[in-house]
Amino acid sequence: MARVAGWRNPTACGPCRRSLWTGGSCWWGGQPHRTWNRSPASSRRSGRWARSIDRKKRGTWVSVGSSPSSGGDAPKREALSPLLVTGATGFLGRNLCPYLVRRGYRLRALVRSTSDHAFLRSLGVELAFGDVRDPPSVRRAVEGCWAVVHAAARFRFWGDPAEFHAVNVEGTRNVLDAALEAGAERFVHISTVVVVGRPPEGETITEETPCRPLDPYQKSKLEGEHLALAYHRDHGLPVVVLRPGAMYGPWGRYGFNRLFFEDPLVRGLAFRVHGGRHITFPVFVEDVARAIEAALHKGRPGEVYNLCGPCITHRQVGETIERVLGRPVRWIPAPAWAMVGLARAWTWLSRLTHREPHYPIGLYPYVFYDWRVSAEKARQELGFEPTPFEEGVRRTLVWYQEMGLLKVRTPEAQRTRRNL
């Protein structure tokens, strides 16, 4: 039988939590730190999870302690030990990292050398250069981290299925392997609601809704999610899966942001299909960041949580944007057959140009169906409370103004900026 024994070696370094297999001092951040002996009893009292030592299987975990702080600043251990974030320079990461730093967490980010990571340096985030597709660099990044937030993914409405698989499946496998080897105490995997494929007509999507993915992105994200849950089931890695809806907010330049903010306000070209009657499933990106922190401490390993705000029609999205701006926005009415034909033509042309079409045919499921999504489970277990949509729109528009992307400065928008 397995016995709970805290860390495999009772001698451990406090700041970096790295076991000292041969004793002595541990150098962390360029400074030596003292070590102390931790008995199994003290290990059980001080942590949520302890390593279970089994002669046949390495890497299983058992719950042994009370829940940590569910609010306020990061607990002392989490403030001293690094938390790894993948996808830190992406849309979600741009919002997640500043939030966690403000909360007192010490972060390490796995970033590619070619990515724009200056903002991470300004936040004091430790950088680990590599790629989720490169196992050695992933192992180096995860080493010494108490938890992993895996947000790196390839998200496009168009592309080579092999590229989606390489990042969203094999990249996820590499991060899971490294986390298991390093003894990570929590692994938060960022999936997506759209793994369900075509939303069931007239029904609300819950975590139990059957998944029938349609496109390479959906298929690869579902496979990555199943892989993460398998590491919990088969190896005991404490994995929590979050499925955000259509994220919008500052730093977003694709998906929901592009369709409802950039196309009508920046490019001046936005289509409205079926009079805007279809239902969409927005979630403010900062709400997802807060849910990630909650999942680190309160999420149940092996569980999946939908994250979504109120589901509203495309017309209601446009009306809210117009109300915040204080002026009408031009939406071009388009019949479904015309949009499908245009998308097919653009997609065919992209094979010649090797550039993503503005409206690829892969966008079809997201705008032609009704997405009713329930986040009740996240509300009950993670304390998830979505930002009112109008407030999220205000904050998104202010970001567009600050970035110089939205030139129109209305009195309402100016008041919005002063109120933030």
Q: Which of 298, 286, 320, 317 is nearest to 377 (CA)?
A: 298
Question: What angle do helix axes 91-102 and 285-298 make, rounded to 10 degrees?
Answer: 60
d(CA 53, CA 410): 63
Q: What is the pLDDT of residues 14-40, one digit of tens each?
A: 334 333 332 333 333 333 333 333 333
| Cα 106 off chain centre by | 18
**Tokens read off for 162:** 């092999």
Q: What is the pLDDT of residue 36?
A: 30
52 or 393, higher pLDDT: 393
- Selected catalytic residue, list 99, 105, 217, 400: 217
d(CA 79, CA 93): 19
Q: What is the pLDDT of residue 31?
A: 33
Q: What is the pLDDT of residues 79-119, one digit of tens each?
A: 678 999 999 999 999 999 999 999 999 999 999 988 888 99
Question: Residue 275 above 70 pLDDT?
Answer: yes
Q: What is the pLDDT of residue 68?
A: 36
Q: What is the pLDDT of residue 76?
A: 61
Q: What is the pLDDT of residues 125-177, one digit of tens each?
A: 999 999 999 999 999 999 999 999 999 999 877 778 899 999 999 999 999 99
Alpha carbons within 13 angstroms on the beta-carbon side of residue 375 total 28
Contact 304, 291 (CB under 8 A): no
pTM of the model: 0.78
Q: Which of 419, 285, 266 is nearest to 330 (CA)?
A: 266
217 is catalytic: yes
What structural domains does the chain harbor?
A: 1-66 (no CATH), 70-245+283-309+372-379 (3.40.50.720), 250-280+312-370+388-420 (no CATH)
d(CA 225, CA 161): 17
d(CA 115, CA 131): 11
Q: Which of 186, 203, 392 is nearest to 297 (CA)?
A: 186
Q: What is the pLDDT of residues 330-358, one digit of tens each?
A: 888 877 777 777 777 877 777 777 777 67
- Angle, CA 389 vertex, CA 386 and CA 392 arms, to 5°: 85
Per-residue pLDDT band for 190 (boundaries 50, 70, 90) equals very high
pLDDT winner (highest mean) among 71-85, 251-265, 300-314, 404-418: 300-314
Residues 6 or more apart in contact with residue 269 via CB below 8 angstroms: 263, 332
229 or 33, higher pLDDT: 229
d(CA 365, CA 205): 15
Q: Which of 141, 16, 13 is nearest to 84 (CA)?
A: 141
d(CA 407, CA 266): 8
Residues 6 or more apart in contact with residue 360 via CB below 8 angstroms: 157, 158, 343, 346, 347, 350
E strands of 156-238, at which residues? 186-190
Helix (H) or strand (E) holding 46: helix 40-46
| % of the chain residues with pLDDT over 90 | 54
| Phi (first) and psi of residue 65, to 5 degrees | -130, 175
**Tokens read off for 363:** 């966008």
**Tokens read off for 396:** 């998104």
Alpha carbons within 13 angstroms on the beta-carbon side of residue 52 total 17
Q: Residue range 291-306: average pLDDT? A: 97
Q: Which of 36, 16, 26, 141 is nearest to 85 (CA)?
A: 141
Rounded to a whole number of angstroms, the CA Rg of the chain reads: 23
Average pLDDT over all residues of the chain: 79
Q: Which residue has the tokens 């075509």?
A: 198
